[in-house]
Amino acid sequence: MSKIKPSQGAPYARIMGVGGYRPTRVVPNEVILETIDSSDEWIRSRSGIATRHWASEEETVAAMSVAASGKAIADAGIMPEQIGAVIVSTVSHFKQTPAIATEIAYKIGAGKPAAFDISAGCAGFGYGLTLAKGMIVEGSAEYVLVIGVERLSDLTDLHDRATAFLFGDGAGAVVVGPSKVPAIGPTVWGSEGDKSETIKQTVAWDEFHAERPEKFPAITQEGQAVFRWAVFEMAKVAQQALDAAGIAPEDLDVFIPHQANMRIIDSMVKTLKLPEHVTVARDVETTGNTSAASIPLAMERLLATGQAKSGDTALVIGFGAGLVYAATVVTLP
């Protein structure tokens, strides 16, 4: 017989508030064309991207996260000191240790919460959301702050025609708290490690330290392979998430996929046979691919512009380097 006292958590968890931060500098395709041989029409037709935001020196990973977190906490109607855990998904915080989550927790006045970083690329928000849900139901935290943040401009090779136009910077955050009714569905997640070379950092940090190559490490990807995987495989994962939540496509109000590429988004909508009444996030047009930040940023914009409303049922799915993925159905805050 175990002597360990059982955890006393909430029956369910929900997203209570959302916040986002986009850097002030807006970068049009014309700037990208200064370093690659392409055209505005080609970039728009291949990706749907017209502009993206690039961070200034002052708009650090921590600074953007603090700004987004403040909005999410206010939107949730709680105080910072009530946050019991801070989870940050990022691939562009360049210190292996300490975790940037600890700095963010201190700067928002959260007291002494659990704080850690995760690295799950563009699926990172979904991974963080799932961890937060588990903490609340298990009872180790009442409120959890989940942040997706990237400064991908630091990892972009502006001379790489395949990726120079893709990436942007920004931070998105949500507060996850207790709920009396189901509001975050089961997560369908996983990885396909045999495809890990399709999106990667060009040079490992230890190699960079040892050899000091002229080029700083950047993100590279096999565009066609990633596109095919996202279009054909991620629609299946999205459908599995709907099935796990007991939701049919016609029951959805909103679809918020990772903002990787407009063609991928449109293809997933078609494959899932989403009805016309479903609002689809297409934030990629003006924000670019912000990896772990893209879903909460898109969620915040839909709510702020009235395209989505509190209580709507939304399917969210992230996918990227690894290759990893995570999809779930949530009730919007």
122 is catalytic: yes
Choose the catalytic residue: 29, 122, 159, 209: 122
Residues 98-109 as b or e (16 or more Cβ within 10 Å = b): ebbbbbbbbebe
Q: What is the pLDDT of residues 190-214, one digit of tens each?
A: 999 999 999 888 878 777 766 665 6
186: amino acid identity, one letter: P
Residue ranges for the chain with pLDDT beneath 70: 1, 209-214
68 phi, psi to nearest 5 deg:
-65, -40
Distance (Å, rounded) from C-alpha 124 to C-alpha 24?
A: 24
162 phi, psi to nearest 5 deg:
-80, -25
Choose the catalytic residue: 53, 93, 261, 289: 289
Q: Is 109 left (phi over 0), alpha (psi -120 to 50) or beta?
A: left
53 is catalytic: no
Closest-CA residue to 122 (of 55, 73, 167, 184): 167
Strand ranges of the sheet holding 12-21, from the earlier edge strand across to the other edge: 12-21, 169-179, 144-151, 85-89, 114-118
Q: What is the pTM of this model?
A: 0.91
289 is catalytic: yes
Tokens of 79: 């105080």
Distance (Å, rounded) from C-alpha 280 to C-alpha 271?
A: 14
pLDDT at 261: 93
pLDDT at 62: 98
Choose the catalytic residue: 29, 53, 258, 261: 258
Return all residues near 30 (Cβ < 8 A) that are at least 6 apart.
40
Given a contact cutoff of 8 angstroms between Cβ atoms, the answer to whether 110 and 86 are in contact is: yes
pLDDT at 209: 66
pLDDT at 213: 57
What sections of 77-123 are H helices per DSSP? 100-107
278 phi, psi to nearest 5 deg:
-75, 125
